Structure 1
């Protein structure tokens, strides 16, 4: 994929800027003010196309979407402003004692208020995808279209088994003792990686994904950006969805990994009862992190879909 040199430089500068987390006096009940990255330039300021809001999955953060957001920002025609959020209990957003899809919708609506948005394209992965499904189904006027990444609105009978891997990852992270750890971020990553191996987290990819959440505090100590106690305690809220009798009748794109268990082809018919205009695309040889495993094809699906979106 070809990127314009000027735009690439602009994107790099944008992602180095300070993350915004604006406080409003007129705050929605129980909502938090989400930290977010924004991609914009003179082209997007002149564009009338709806912006895109991107929401990551559990254990993720806005920086995981840097490559995708850069691709979409440079390739979409008409151009669109892109916001990439850190969800509550993740990244640079506030930590809270609860985490539900209803609360995520409140956070999204608070973000709309912060940014002065009336309508946007909502693009969400996994937990972020189900959160945005809830937003679109309960406030359809807020979502001009929906892009859902490797998650289904249908709860599998074995979903507890399917979700066991990320839960194991969170519990393993919670066992790491940072009290005696000092030195550089590189030292901390090596230490945490070895501790995760001891906890039988055998996948280098999973360990690397989790370790992106390491942070160094002002006093030099280390810890996690993610709110481990809440995410572990409320983990099975991530399968607590009930979209019965709800319908969103605007355009929806599902992009799933062919090797992922989260959007089985048997879900196509029940998905279309909730999202009658849904289109489902599978990325060959990709798993749950489909947007990271094949970014060019993922972006192509999204760009083609948005050609017909206002």
Structure 2
């Protein structure tokens, strides 16, 4: 199995090796598509595969590294074999930090990635925010998407979601903005994470799993200072864009799979009929005892569902 990390092609990072630039962020001051950092997951079986590859997109405050274990599982058992690309969305991971953030821009970034990779069509698999960005791509450029897999996210936004579900991540971002990382300078990675973990706990982020998820975004720079991989100021300022979604006049009639957590509120039963109007060829699977991070909480079952879905298309 091969994991290859690719970085945005800009004049600052052309021809640079991973070990030197793995913590580098490039600021881009434009409302245009950016070149995303991504990982290539492949093996000898994928070299001669003619099947459309899979592109995976993470959710808010996530990164491509969160999907390594799932990608490994899919790579081994998919029939036919498919190459997998896992992206870092703009303002996340190793991709450029920009002053704007929206589903439309993220979709444009995906289309630009197609050009970079020489792709005409792909399977898009997106979690939460990444799923909604991929919905935008599928609904506005259906010829580029052979099938769509959405992880615990719906194309429907209703009043309760805006008031409650989407309020929690914004509160977390605002909490992170209050943490002063300057005092961590020079401290080793494991010690720095322990200190920030205590800070998060003091600030009422009391779920250990959530704190560990957040801490994966903590990085140490070449000068041994600390910063976040996520662009917290932009994500806070442009957070309202994540509530702007209206797909009621669009239809994507190719195969769609939605894998939702039974304990999550992101895909309520009341959304099923409206979802079918947008995605008439949809299959919805609810995973028992799973929350919003269904792919991490029940990764084996999640992979089985995705593999079965893709196998059914042939």
Please state which band the TM-score falls in when normalised by the shorter chain.
Answer: over 0.9
Cα contact 2:7–2:94 (8 A) shared by 1: no
In structure 2, what is the Cα distance between the partners aligned to 1:73 and 1:130?
24
The residue number in structure 1 matching 2:18 is none
Find the partner of 2:267 among 249, 256, 263.
263
Query: Once superposed, what is the RMSD of the aligned Cα atoms?
Result: 1.6
Find the partner of 1:272 among 268, 272, 276.
276
1:244 shift after superposition: 2.1
2:209 is aligned with 1:222: no
Secondary structure of the residue aligned to 2:123 is strand
1:42 shift after superposition: 2.5
Between 1:53-62 and 1:168-177, the stretch displaced more is 168-177
The residue number in structure 2 matching 1:290 is 294
Q: TM-score, normalising length from structure 1?
A: 0.92
1:236 shift after superposition: 2.3
Q: TM-score, normalising length from structure 2?
A: 0.91
In structure 2, what is the Cα distance between the partners aligned to 1:22 and 1:78?
31
The residue number in structure 2 matching 1:19 is 6
The residue number in structure 1 matching 2:76 is 74
Cα contact 2:7–2:95 (8 A) shared by 1: no
2:257 is aligned with 1:253: yes
2:213 is aligned with 1:209: yes
Q: Where has structure 1 moved over 4 Å in runs of 4 or more? A: none
Structure 1 residues 84-116: Cα deviation after superposition (integer angstroms, max 9, x where no partner): 000000000000011001101110000000000
2:210 is aligned with 1:199: no
In structure 2, what is the Cα distance between the partners aligned to 1:216 and 1:252?
39
Q: Tell me the matched-pair count.
A: 295
The residue number in structure 2 matching 1:231 is 235
1:239 shift after superposition: 1.9
Structure 2 residues without counterparts, runs of 5 or longer:
15-29
In structure 2, what is the Cα distance between the partners aligned to 1:225 and 1:108?
20
In structure 2, what is the Cα distance between the partners aligned to 1:273 and 1:163?
24
The residue number in structure 1 matching 2:178 is 175
Cα contact 1:145–1:309 (8 A) shared by 2: no
In structure 2, what is the Cα distance between the partners aligned to 1:309 and 1:229?
42
Structure 1 residues without counterparts, runs of 5 or longer:
1-9
Find the partner of 1:162 among 165, 184, 197.
165
In structure 2, what is the Cα distance between the partners aligned to 1:86 and 1:255?
21
Q: Residues 129-140 of structure 1 correspond to what in structure 2 (within 5 A)?
A: 129-140=131-142
